[in-house]
Every structure is written in C-alpha cells, then in structure tokens.
Structure 1
Amino acid sequence: MPSAFSHARTALFRLHWALGLTAGLVLALMGFTGALMSYEEAITALANRDRTQIGAAQDRPPLAPSALAARIEAQHPGERVAALTLPGDPGRSAVVRFARNRAGGERSPSVYADPTDGTVLGAVRLEGFFGTVRALHRWLLLPGEGKGWGRTITGACAVALLIFLGSGLYLRWPGRHGWRVWLRPNLARPGRARWWSLHAVAGTWLLPVYAVSALSGLWWSYEWYRAGATWLLTGQVAGQVTGQVTAKAPKERSVGPSETRAADRKPSEGPPAIDAAWTAFTATHIAALATLTLPGPEASAIRIRWYAPDAALRNEASYDARTGAVLDDRRADAASLGQRIADNMLEVHRGRFFGAPAALLFCLAALALPGFFATGLTLYALRRRAGRRRAPGRSVRPAEASARG
C-alpha cells in the first residue's frame, strides 16, 4: 500500500514540473534580463566612454549645483533638472537626470555634462535600452508598471522559485545518494539520466544564490513583505531609523514647459540651500560618486546618496531644503548588519553586497535560469515520450522516475 511519504513525493514532483512549465518561462526571462542589469553601469560606461571623460583634470573648479543645473536647463528649455550624479574624479563628467513631464509623465533622456562649465556633452547611450530591460524584468512590460498585473506575476514567480528550491531539495533526499552524486554531474549517463543529473546538481550548487535572489526580489513585489522584512532586519517599522532624525525623502515633481528654471527661482526656493548642503557634504565626506536630488518648492529635504571609494554599499545624507542644515547622515559602515541589508537590498539582490566574486556568481546564476527551464522542458518531453512507448503493464510512478533520473 502506498505510504503518505510516496504520495507527498508524487505531489511535490507534479507541482515542480507544473510550475516549471509556467513560472519557469517567466523566471528564465527574468534571469536573462537580471544578468544584463548586473553590469548595467559597466556596459553603459563602455558605450559612453567618449562622454564620461572630460580630459585631464580641469584648472577650473566645478560649478555649484544650482549654477550647474541652471546652465544645463538653459540648454534644455522647458526641462527641470531632478538629480545630478557628481563624480569624485575631477576628470569625469556629471550625469544629469531630468524631471518627468507633467503632461505625459515621461522623462527626457539623461545627459552627460561638464561639471566645470555646464556644457552638455550628449545623451546617455543605452539608457532607453536598459529602461526597457528593467521594465521587462520587473513587470514584463505589462500595463500599469509597478501597480499592474506584471508586478503581481513576477512576485508570484519569485515565490515559485522558492518552491522550486524546496521541492527540488526534497525530491533529491531519498537518503541513498552519496555526496558525489549530489555535487558532481554525471554527464556520461545516457539520455534522460544525463539531463536529470545536470539539472539537479546545478540546482543544488546554486540553491543559496537563488534563495537570496528570490527573498530579496520579493522586497519590491509586496508592501507587506517589505514591511515585515524591515522589521525583522532592523526592529523598526519601515521608514524609521533609530537614533537619527530622518527627513521625508523629497518627492520628484513633474514639470511643465511654463515653469521657471533654476536660475529664475527665488533664493528661498532652494538653490542657496542646495549649495550650502553640497558644501557641507563635501567638507565632511569623501565620495567616489554622489547623487544629489534637487527638490521642488514643496520638498522638505535635499537627499544625497553616495558611495565611498572602493565601497559597494550606498550611504545617504539629507539636508534641510530651505537652510541646507544637516538632518540625517546614514553611513553603511556605522549601521548594523540588518540595517545595511535593508538600506542596500538592490545590492543584495545583485550579489554586490557580498563582494565582486559573489556579484559575478549571481550574474552567472541568473544566466543559468534559462538553462534550468530548457533542461526541465527536455526532461518533461523525454518522460512523456517514454510513457507513450512504455509497454502495457505496471507503470512507474513519477516520484520513482525522478529518483531514477
């Protein structure tokens, strides 16, 4: 009489291949796009190498942020500068991001600019391409973007990946395999056994990577998950920081063609405070790269996200939008492990949180997801063909077939 254990294995086996034929295709697409985004910065820098450099270190000092924004806006009438990414290297150009247009909600392409005189050097190549790749990865290019069905589907597929890991590990746990079978694929075996060995062993090796990728990916899928993970990691409700005065992040405001440029704003609306905040920041921080968000008139804070030299984790400082006085200074090296994870969840998702070798491993694991879908589909097709050719008589249960490979 079949035991409950065998019934459980059969049910998990069927769930595994059913999800593989559905969610597996989406995960393969997410893996390929995720691998592309893993090195987006390096690929973009290579494609724009003629615009990222402004030659040898200039004799002129860099412009103040308000003056730099005003000169850029003068070359792009009707646009408002939303953020400036300023390098610590004086020989490199700045990256300028514009605010979304009020009418259509669209954003003009980002541009490179000389930080010493505000000369626009050209648009950022491949920005549109990676924007499409990012939308495909996050919500499958479906309508509604982050609030539509695409986000729900990708979130469900991240849960499916966790089910894959658990069910695959359970199906490999009959207790009679040695470590060699578990950790080394046997490609000399014929037919279906070869594909099963490759599929199962690769999944075993990459299980920790996929677990981290899925658990961190759910951070952007469900608000309840992010709130719960934030509480588990930091002991705080999302948005709270212990022992610090946390300012509300400046909300990016859409801009219409008739609105004033930075050069035409009144002093109370921000430019002096922006310059004061930047002066205070540069006096107390050594940054390899810093992104300064320019607030609209309604914003209460100026936010600066920055990276220290030879560091992969992001830091953040905020300043009063009217006076430029410091409100908050959050540094990764001074935070607890849980807080560092919460503040750098994207770097955890990409593997950079664990160092450059881990980032490469995460990229390769993402590229392997289409391979898992292909090998799983091959195993399914071979199993169906074998079932059709099987002579009448005792049929082999699916769980037994999977154990045999």
Structure 2
Amino acid sequence: MHKTIWYKIHWFFGVIFGLTLLIVGFSGAVLSYEKEILRFLNPNTYNIPIAQDKQILKVQEILQKYQSQNPDTKINSISFSNDKSSSVVLNIASKDPNQKKGQNIYLNPYTVEILPELTGKDFFSFFLRLHRWLAFEGDSREIGKNIVALTTIACIILTIGGLIVYWPRVKNHFFKSFTFSFKHKKRAFLSTMHSAVGMWVIPMFLLVTLTGLYWSYDWYRSAMFTVMQVEQPKREPVAQEQAKNQQKPQMIPYETVQKVVDIFVQNISKEYKNANLRLTPNKEEFYSISYLFADAAHYRETNTMEINVKDSIVVKDVKFEDKKLNEQIMSSILLLHTGEYFGWIGQLLMFIASSLMVLFVITGYMLYYDRLKKRRAKAQKIVKEEI
C-alpha cells in the first residue's frame, strides 16, 4: 500500500512537471561548462600577447586613457591580473537602469585597446534565463521563477519517491539494483534502465535541487543562513540600486585609485591571480578589493581587502581560507549547485546528472503512455465482454 501511494505520486509529478524538468535539466547541462567554452571560443579577448618592448600600463593610466576616449561612461570597477598575458576588464554602468550588473569591457593592458566582445555570451545568457525563469521577460519573469521553483520541489519528491518505490530491489539486490540489461525488451528494459540510472544520480539530484531553491524563495535562503549559523548579507533596496545606476558619470580620482592598488600589492600575503577594485568607496570612504589567490581551488574562494587611502593602511583583510566551514559553504552555494565545489569530477558528475534528466523524462513518458495504452485496452476488453 505504502509503495503504491508513492508510485502514484511519482508518476503524477513526473507527468505534470515532465516538460519543465526537461527544460531545467537540459539548460543546466548546457551551462555546466560555460566558462570553459567561452574561454575556448574567445582566446583573443581573455588573453593578449605579451609585449616584450612595452610595460603593462598602471591602473591609473588605463582608467585615464579609457575615460578620455569615453567621457560619458561611468566605470563601476576594474579587474586586473598578475598574469601579463591576461586582459583587463572594466565594468561600466549600463544605459538600461534595470541591468544591475553593468557591462564588461575587455581591454589590452598595454595599449587600452578594446578587445572583441565575447562570442557565445548571448547564447549562454539565453540558457541562463531559460534555466532560472523559463526565458520569461519583464513582469512575467516572476511567473517563470515560481514554475522553476515548483519544478525543483517536484524533482525532490520524484527523487525520494523513486527511491522508495525501488527500495525493495535495492534492499534485496543492492549492487544489481544499479544495473540494467539490454537483453530486456520494451517496458521491462525501459523500467529497469529508468530505475537503475536513477539510482546513480540520487546524490546529485538532491544536491542540485536543495541548493537550487536558494534562488527561488527568500524564506528558504534565510532559513539556510539560519541553519548554517551564518549572518545573511544585507541587500540594497531595488529603488536604491536603480538610483545608483541612473547616476551621472563622475570624475574618478585616478591617483587615489592607483594608491589603493599600490597598497593592495604591498600588503597581499601571497601571489594573486586576479583582483577586482570597486571605484566607489563605501560609507567609511574605504575602498574594497576582492581578489583570488593563484592557488585557489575554485573561483569563489574570493578574499576581500578594505583600504583606508587617507591613512594608507589596510583596515580589513578577510581571507576565504580563514573562514569557518559553514561560512565557506554559504559563500559557495553556486559551486555546490554546479558541482564545481568538488573540483572537475564534481562538475562532470553534475553535468552528467543534468543531461540524464532528458532520459528520465522521455523514458518516464514512454512508461506512462505504455501503461495508459494497456489500461485502455483492458477497459475496452471488459466492455466487449459485457456486451
């Protein structure tokens, strides 16, 4: 009886949310290697030839030269690297007030030449919108967000329900329950493959869904911070963010910015890979630099240094490696979601799991259709016998 109920729950949620599960799973698989693919497609944007007869310009010089050529542009931040073959990235305020993150411009650090725009960025941007909001735009985005959230919850129920239904076989034939045979025909083959392959991805599905809800509901995100005993970062009100985006371009104190960079380089404890400097100071008039050590395991191992330019001192230097495990986890939710937290093997496993969602949806619908066809045939047979 217990198994029968869960079986009905499993096929009900599978039929209702099958299409959105396919969309979210497939789009997640496409996004799995976005950074690697973009770097492969855009070698002349991310990297530049090392000029033997020239020196990399100072941050101050780069900003001055770019701003003089683009006087109406507001620069939000500058990202620079310790690698002489790496391009410099400026984040400039977008003309669209609803675009909070601004636009990234890649520059040659030797000449301040604007490098080619990223090929493939629009492709991945579309799949990100598809993954998070089903590609809905404007006010409809909230609808797409909630459908994706319900689909995520449905995936949790399907994963748990599938395990409960399949548990007798797991308990009696543990190792065999992870296998299927091509000797089986039709429904028997589909059923054993659907169940066996499902067993492989249970840990990945639970991880990707439980972390995915982080972006779906504010209450869920707050609950995660509470459970992990980590203080939740405060977000600026939307109106305040939009007001900042609509501000007119300001003259940047280039000498001050260069001084911040010099203090950063003098006080960093070991070799860094890249650093990002926000050109707007905080309320205390301190400048903030987020940076990544060269030996960082992943790109979310960011550290933050706050600098008091007036007194030429480092006010605060918060390193990722010094944080407690619960704080590291909460600042790495995206990497847990993508599997990158566990290195290349985790990223690969999450890619495979996301791709397999297509298999589960297709085989699930095939099994449902086969069952429905048999029920109809049985009902017609009963009617004929009664006649």
The two structures share one fold, judged by TM-score above 0.5: yes
**Structure 1 position 191 matched with structure 2 position 176:** no
Residue of structure 2 equivalent to 1:315: 302
Specify the alignment match of 1:15 in structure 2. Answer: 9
TM-superposed CA distance for 1:327, in Å, is 4.3
5 Å matches for 1:71-150? 71-101=65-95, 105=99, 109-144=103-138, 148-150=142-144
1:286 aligns with 2:280: no
Tell me the amino acid that sits aligned with residue 179 of structure 1: F
Q: CA offset at residue 371 of structure 1?
A: 1.4
Tell me if the contact between 2:281 and 2:287 (Cα under 8 Å) persists in the aligned partners.
no
Q: Does the residue aligned with 2:294 lie in a helix, a strand or coil?
A: coil
Q: In 2, are the aligned partners of 1:277 and 1:326 still within 8 Å (CA)?
A: no
CA apart distance, 1:44: 0.9
Q: Distance in 2 between matches of 1:103 and 1:173?
A: 53
Residue range with higher mean Cα deviation, 135-144 or 175-184: 175-184
State whether structure 2 residue 195 is matched by structure 1 residue 200: yes
Report matched runs for 1:144-163 at 5 Å.
144=138, 148-163=142-157
Deviates more, 1:149-158 or 1:104-113: 104-113
Q: Shift in Å at residue 76 of structure 1?
A: 3.7
Q: CA deviation at 1:162?
A: 1.0
- Per the alignment, residue 29 of structure 1 pairs with 23
2:317 equivalent in structure 1: 329
* Comparing 66-75 and 21-30, the one that deviates more: 66-75
What corresponds to 2:385 in structure 1? none
Superposition TM-score, scaled by structure 2 size: 0.85
| 1:285-304 → structure 2 map (5 Å cutoff) | 285-295=270-280, 302-304=287-289
Amino acid in the other structure paired with 1:19: F
Contact 1:274 1:321 in 2 (8 A): no
Q: Alignment partner of 2:116: what SS? A: strand
TM-score if structure 1 supplies the norm length? 0.81
Kept in 2: contact 1:292–1:303 (CA 8 A): yes
Residue 243 of structure 2 is aligned to residue 231 of structure 1 = no
Deviations 1:117-147 (A, max 9, x none): 3221222222222222211111112234797
Unaligned stretches of 5+ residues in structure 1: 1-5, 241-249, 394-405
Q: How many residues align?
A: 371
Matched with 1:179 is: 174
Change (3 A) 1:56 1:236: closer
Residue in 1 that maps onto 2:245: 254
| Distance apart, 1:347 and its partner CA | 1.0
Q: Is the alpha carbon distance of 1:296 and 1:145 closer, same or farther for their aligned partners in structure 2, counting shifts above 3 Å?
A: farther
In the alignment, which residue of structure 2 is the partner of 1:213?
A: 208
Identical aligned pairs, as a percentage? 24
Query: CA distance change for structure 1 residues 376 and 151 in 2, over 3 Å: closer, same or farther?
Result: same
> In the alignment, is the contact (CA less than 8 A) between 2:259 and 2:309 conserved in 1?
no
Q: 1:299 to 1:116 in 2, by over 3 A?
A: farther
Using the alignment, how far apart are the partners of 1:370 and 1:38 within structure 2? 15
Deviates further, 99-108 or 49-58: 99-108
